[in-house]
Every structure is written in C-alpha cells, then in structure tokens.
C-alpha cells in the first residue's frame, strides 16, 4: 500500500512539474517610474479631497428621470455632469508632455454586464450604467483600457518650471439596453494618472 501511494505522489509531482514548465508564449512588460506627482483641485462639477496618491473626487449625478435616460437612448448622455480637474504638478514633470487619466473599474464597481463601455452601478436601479465621456463627448470604454489625455503645460524654466494640466470630462447615467427601473445608482471608479 505504501509503495502505491508513493508512486501516485511521484506521478502527480511529475505532472505538476511538466505543467509548470509548459508555455504558450511570453508577455514582456516595459515601463518607467517617473518623479511626476500631480495634485488635483476641483473645477466645475466635482469636489476633490485627500492628498497625493489618495485623492477622492466626488461627483453628484443628481436625480435624473427615467424619461431623460430613455430619451437619450443607449450609449448617449442624459443630464451629463462636468468633471473638471485642475492638476498642479509643481516642478516634478520635467521632460513630460502629457498626463493620462486611466480607469480601473474592476477595482471599483465593475463593468456593466449589458454594456461593457459603462461602469456598473451599485444600488437598486436597473437598466442603467455610468458613462464617462471625454471633452468631445466620446464615451470612454471602461473595459478597453481607454484613457483620457491632456497636455502638460509648463510655465517658467529650469528649477522654477511649474507644470499643470486641465482634465475636462463628463459623467452621465446611460441606458444599457435592459429594462429601466428607478432606484439608487451609485458607482466607484478608481483612477491612476500616468505620464508621457
């Protein structure tokens, strides 16, 4: 009996070893850590709290009627709310020209199951998600790693240089194609600033 057990274990170990060594391809990662550190302050439509790396942007989408959402149609803006953020990067962004606002819906409310361009809501409402739109009213794809970019503007030279950027987006409830039902419709969308 003991010998059989040993052989089975040895056999399983060989299977695990060969499985761990199999590969169908390689993923190569590239990147760079930069000194850029920007702090957001709120423009119209939002409030900003917290410090660098831990900022919280609060956006009140208000109470929007089902008629407005249905009237806008699937994928379109219904009573959009401006999200204007002013970034102050001090002198930390030397050599950089662009800041990108990237979203991580899976660490927040998630992606809407009916329309993966939208942020999934939490609450009792149904048939709706939250859409993020760029300044050209283009719906930013929540599941497609799309980002919103803005130019970094520099004032001054050398050690006296000050970098800043203005991010102008909109958020809106958007019909996802399912039957619309009233209720609370909240969402959480973590974001990260990256630089080029």
Q: What string of DSSP letters covers 148-184?
A: EEEE-EEESSGGG-EEEEEEEEEEEEEE-SSPPB-S-
Q: 183: how many CB neighbours lie within 10 A of its CB?
A: 10
CA–CA separation, 180 and 66 (whole Å): 7
Residue 105 in contact with residue 188, Cβ under 8 Å? Answer: no
* 87-99: pLDDT as tens digits: 999 998 988 999 9
Check residue 76 and give its pLDDT.
65
Residue located via tokens 């987006």? 169
Q: Where are the alpha helices (DSSP H) in the chain?
A: 2-21, 66-72
Residue 38 in contact with residue 165, Cβ under 8 Å? Answer: yes
Closest C-alpha among 184, 185, 174, 154 to residue 75: 174
Cβ burial, residue 159 (10 Å; 0-12/13-18/19+): exposed
Residue 49 clears pLDDT 50, i.e. is over it? yes
CA–CA separation, 18 and 93 (whole Å): 47
Overall pTM > 0.75: yes
* 58-76: pLDDT as tens digits: 999 999 988 888 776 655 6
* 130-166: pLDDT as tens digits: 999 998 889 999 998 888 999 999 999 888 899 999 9
């Amino acid at each position: 009996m003991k010998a059989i057990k040993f052989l089975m274990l040895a056999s399983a170990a060989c299977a695990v070893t060969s499985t761990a060594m199999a590969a169908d391809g390689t993923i190569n990662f590239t990147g760079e850590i930069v000194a850029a550190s920007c702090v957001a302050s709120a423009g119209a439509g939002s409030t900003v709290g917290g410090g660098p790396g831990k900022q919280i942007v609060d956006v009140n989408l208000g109470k929007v009627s089902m008629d407005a959402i249905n009237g806008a149609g699937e994928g379109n803006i219904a009573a959009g709310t401006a999200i204007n953020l002013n970034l102050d990067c001090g002198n930390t962004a030397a050599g950089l020209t662009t800041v990108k606002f990237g979203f991580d819906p899976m660490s927040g409310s998630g992606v809407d199951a009916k329309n993966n361009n939208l942020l999934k809501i939490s609450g009792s409402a149904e048939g709706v998600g939250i859409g993020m739109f760029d300044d050209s009213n283009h719906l930013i794809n929540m599941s497609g790693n799309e980002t919103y970019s803005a130019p970094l503007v520099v004032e001054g030279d050398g050690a006296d240089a000050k970098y800043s950027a203005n991010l102008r987006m909109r958020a809106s409830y958007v019909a996802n194609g399912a039957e619309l039902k009233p209720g609370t419709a909240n969402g959480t969308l973590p974001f990260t600033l990256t630089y080029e």
